[in-house]
Chain A
Amino acid sequence: MIEVSHLTKSFDSHVVLEDISTVFRPGQVNLVIGQSGSGKTVLLKSLVGLLPIEQGDIIYSDQSLKGMTPVHRKDLRRRIGMLFQGSALFDSMTVLENVMFPLDMFTSWNRTEKAERAQACLERVELPSAAALFPSELSGGMKKRVAIARAIAPNPDYLFCDEPNSGLDPLTSIVIDDLIREITHEYGITTVVNTHDMNSVMGIGEHITFLYRGHVEWTGTNRDIFHSGNEALDQFIFAAPWTRQMKK
């Protein structure tokens, strides 16, 4: 479980996150939604420790991120998997080497064991025959799947996904969403997904945190979202004229 408590973050005088408090539970897909510039990426980067915490705290299963020593922080990061918006696969490595990379760095397994685990992860994301390819030879959707395979290879406790569907067609987006949900349930991971894709919100939003101008405006599930009564959330969800008509 990850507990965000009164988190505030600013760049110079510009406050990006203001008094954010929320809880991300294990075994469910936690979505963070909001317009561009609402602070989603800053929140995600703060969660994984890429940005320092100024005010408030982030608690990982009773461990405060703010008070962690560099050694503990390093240990925590080894229990984190992350799917980046641009996949962030290593260009110079093959798909198999990419997936094996965290195992190379942090396990004492032999090469066969690592290759077997990496191959199993590739099969889990339905890319068993892509092992020898380089990232430049993959489509956008395949890159995302390889990135998911790399993220789950060391059996992480936490999975963070930054805009997993950006640049993907609706059908591929659904495949990626389903994969994230299945993996979350299968391994009991605490998954946090940053998105503004409405298909994701409706499809996998088991717990949704809506950020608006740097603060938490609304929390709930995808079932509650149509009846939230929150004006800012309604404007975001029903932004397109046809969705407003459908709501009526």
Chain B
Amino acid sequence: MKSLLRHLGRYTMLMGQVFRKPDKWAVFGNTLVRELQNLGTNSIGIVIIISFFIGAVLAMQTSYNLINPLIPRYLIGLLTRETMLLEFSSTIVSLILAGKIGSSIASEIGTMRITEQIDALDIMGVNAPNYLILPKIVAVLCFFPLLCMLSMTVGIFGGWVASVTQHLLTSSEYVYGIRYAFNSYYIVYSIIKIEVFAFIIATVASYHGFFVAGGSLEVGRSSTRAVVHSSIIILMFNLLLTKLLL
């Protein structure tokens, strides 16, 4: 408990330094563009691949379980859509990105810490947490909703490909299913969730990287801790947000 409070205190103080006016807006802008590329566009590939195959598998599994002739086949499309919108494209994508982006942030900042690059920033009079962490937070907050919507689209498309090529149902039945009883609030709900998860991933990983002490072994450990802790916090917030928003 004491350790948890200590971590919470240090995290809060770090965030206090992060959320300040940048020393130079032009430098912040350049760093933000670089982070958008590192953390955003470089994640597009993995999101497309995973979403496509999960969408396809969801459609196939739903089809194999819907053996009752009284249940309409278009439910395969509906269930694929609901799963992608409500859970996969926000929570599961965030858990995957916590592994990819979270470990990358923690190891990048951790390496800068142990090679004295953060000390160099401090000595120059640069607010190191603000310079290093704020662009990452803004970049993920900007890009994660796009990845979420991309995941929804690709996942539903993957379900359609599997349904049509495996002759599980016709294309028009699938399209009817994904349009049936559509609630646009689910997209808002999903985007709110992924924004919260993006913030958790960026800040928890930065926190673990920033306070690394020791050598390369510690950087590796902090990277692992960053992934584990952000995943647990994401799952806890998923429950809380679902209770609050649905």
Q: Which residues of A contact B (CB under 8 A)?
A: 48-50, 74-78, 80, 82, 84-86, 88-92, 101-102, 104-106, 160
Contacts and interface: CB of A to CB of B under 8 A. Distances in A.
Interface stretch (B5-13, B64-72, B117-125, B197-205): B117-125
A88 B116 contact: yes
Q: Quick one: which of B24, B117, B122, B123 has the most chain A CB within 10 A?
A: B123
A86 B24 contact: no
Given A76-B125, A88-B120, 9 more contacts: A48-B123, A74-B125, A77-B122, A77-B124, A88-B115, A91-B117, A105-B23, A105-B125, A160-B123
B16 to A, nearest CB: 13
A85 B116 contact: yes
Contacts of A160: 123
Contact of B119 (A84, A90, A106): A84
B126 interface: yes
Q: Do most interface residues of chain B lie in helix, strand or loop, or is the interface mixed?
A: helix
B119 A50 contact: yes
Contacts, number: 55
Contacts of A92: 34
B27 interface: yes
B116 A105 contact: no
B122 A50 contact: yes
B37 to A, nearest CB: 12
The 5 closest A-B pairs by CB, nearest first: A77-B125, A88-B116, A88-B120, A78-B125, A84-B116
B25 to A, nearest CB: 11
A80 B122 CA distance: 11
Contacts of B27: 104-105
Nearest to A76: B125
Contact of B125 (A75, A84, A86, A89): A75
Interface string B118-144: 011011111000000000000000000
Contacts of B34: 92
14 contacts: A74-B125, A75-B125, A77-B123, A77-B124, A84-B116, A86-B115, A88-B116, A88-B119, A89-B117, A90-B112, A90-B120, A91-B112, A105-B124, A106-B24
A80 B26 CA distance: 23
A17 B108 CA distance: 33
Contacts of A104: 24, 26-27
B120 A84 contact: yes
A82 B117 CA distance: 11
Contacts of B115: 86, 88, 91
A86 B119 CA distance: 12
A105 B120 contact: no
Contacts of B120: 82, 84, 88, 90
A58 to B, nearest CB: 14
B124 A102 contact: yes
A125 to B, nearest CB: 17
A77 B126 CA distance: 9
B80 to A, nearest CB: 41
B7 to A, nearest CB: 21
A84 B120 CA distance: 8
A233 B25 CA distance: 51
A78 B124 contact: yes
Contacts of B123: 48-50, 77, 80, 82, 160
A49 B123 CA distance: 8
A91 B118 CA distance: 12
A77 B111 CA distance: 23
B116 A86 contact: yes
A90 B124 CA distance: 13
A203 B115 CA distance: 28
A50 B125 CA distance: 11
Nearest to A162: B116
Given A75-B125, A77-B125, A105 B119 contact: no
Contacts of A80: 123-125
